[in-house]
Amino acid sequence: MTEEKQSALNRRELISLGLAGAGLSLLPASGAQAAPAKVKTSARIVIAGAGAAGLASASRLAAALDGAKITIIDPRKQHLYQPGYTLVAAGIKPENYPVSTTAEYIPKGVQWVAERVAEIDPEGNRVVTDSGKSFAYDFLFVTTGLVLDYAAIEGMDEGLIGREGIGSIYHSPQGAFATWREMDRFTQKGGVGVFLRPASEMKCAGAPLKYTFLVEDYLSRRGVRGRSQLIYNAHSKALFSVPVVAEKVRMLFQERGVQVNYERSLKSIDPGRRIATFNTTEGTTELQYDFINVIPPMKAPDAVRNSPLPWQEGKWAKDGWMEVDKGTLRHVRYPNVFGVGDIAGVPKGKTAASVKWQVPVAVDHAVAEMAGTTSKSLYTGYTSCPLVTRLGRAMLVEFDYQNNLLPSFPGVIAPLEELWASWVLKTTALKPTYISMLRGQV
């Protein structure tokens, strides 16, 4: 490429970035209409969980209602920007990059109970904390998130992360940083890298793929790719739930020499021998590794799983995902209960971008009921995955329940092209937008 053409490309990408950054701040949330004035109500609203979905719900409810008693229950003092974990685990951001405090996002007038939700009783319309305190509600927003089930993998212990060639990008900021140290050691000398995703539902299903791409790029940049083998183990017959994206990833893996095994899920790990055992359609198989990115199965927290709220049958019943209407996020059997964020048993939507579109819909329906009206707002499954494919390049993949691609910036950012602009969105622009979401501003 000539210097003149490269310069023109850089200018176009800078323009794209500027438009994208502005667009992310202004992007409407799912078409839900803001109330023209605050709705007067004495409703008691309990929000179970102060993660992204809980804080965003609290902010929007506080802004929409006058006189409501809003209580958010969660013991976590730290708030964690989980989309940043992959960046920490790739050495792109420092360990504390995802960390802030819960307190700074609690809206004025909202009561924060810093305790764990122990019991949810939708028949009695109450939530009980681990200290035995009981909170009655007229409306309940369940925003508990999910649980990483490391114990489901035989031989795996969370204390192994960052040792014996074991990484795990989902665990925590500390775990992500320990993963970076272990990955850094691996990519200095090369060897066999093993990657995977669980057979359960999971948050941000693109993260295992992007981390595989990043490790491959580090090996190439450090000159040891030729003596390294990378193996990605897909849990199903596809690499991604959206067929066109799955095919694009398959092609990129093929170009970059990443071996793909289908219908494999991690059963056990032997850290001493550095052997990972996978379930397959024909039994089990072992893979030797020098580095492995362990991603555990994920399930609903006990407070939800042990309540009447989960699906009673079907693929979402076993792990306790909430039985909500996929369009309104309202519980199918308990209409004064909403499930928002990772806990919702819907076909897609376990990402921070999904929360941005889910929260306004659920809040709109609850507020409309308090006002004596109805809402037509619907969540159509919008999910966004900034799929990093190498240092400095990413694809901004956005889609819905029907696997339709939904580019926010058509003609500017093509969803299946590896662009510098998409990389900068992921590494720079998305966190401020996320914080604005927590404050109910986008």
Enumerate the active-site residues: 204, 385
List all residues 6 or more positions away from 339 whose beta carbon is below 8 Å from its beta carbon.
142, 143, 309, 322, 324, 329, 331, 345
The Cα 264–Cα 267 span in angstroms is: 9
209 neighbors 249 (Cβ within 8 angstroms): yes
Residues 6+ apart with CB under 8 A from 126: 134, 135, 136, 137
Task: Answer left, alpha or beta for residue 91, where phi above 0 means left and psi between -120 and 50 means alpha.
Answer: left
Could you give the CA distance from residue 268 to residue 154 in angstroms, rounded to a whole number?
4
Q: Which of 226, 235, 376, 365 is nearest to 295 (CA)?
A: 235
Instruction: State residue 370 phi and psi, 5-degree precision.
Output: -65, -30
| Alpha carbon distances (Å) from 274 to 167, 224, 289, 290 | 12, 20, 6, 7
Q: How far is CA 3 from CA 10, 14, 222, 239, 431, in A?
A: 10, 16, 26, 37, 33
Alpha helices in 139-296 (DSSP H): 173-189, 207-221, 243-255
Q: What angle do CA 119, 300, 323 make, to 5 degrees?
A: 85
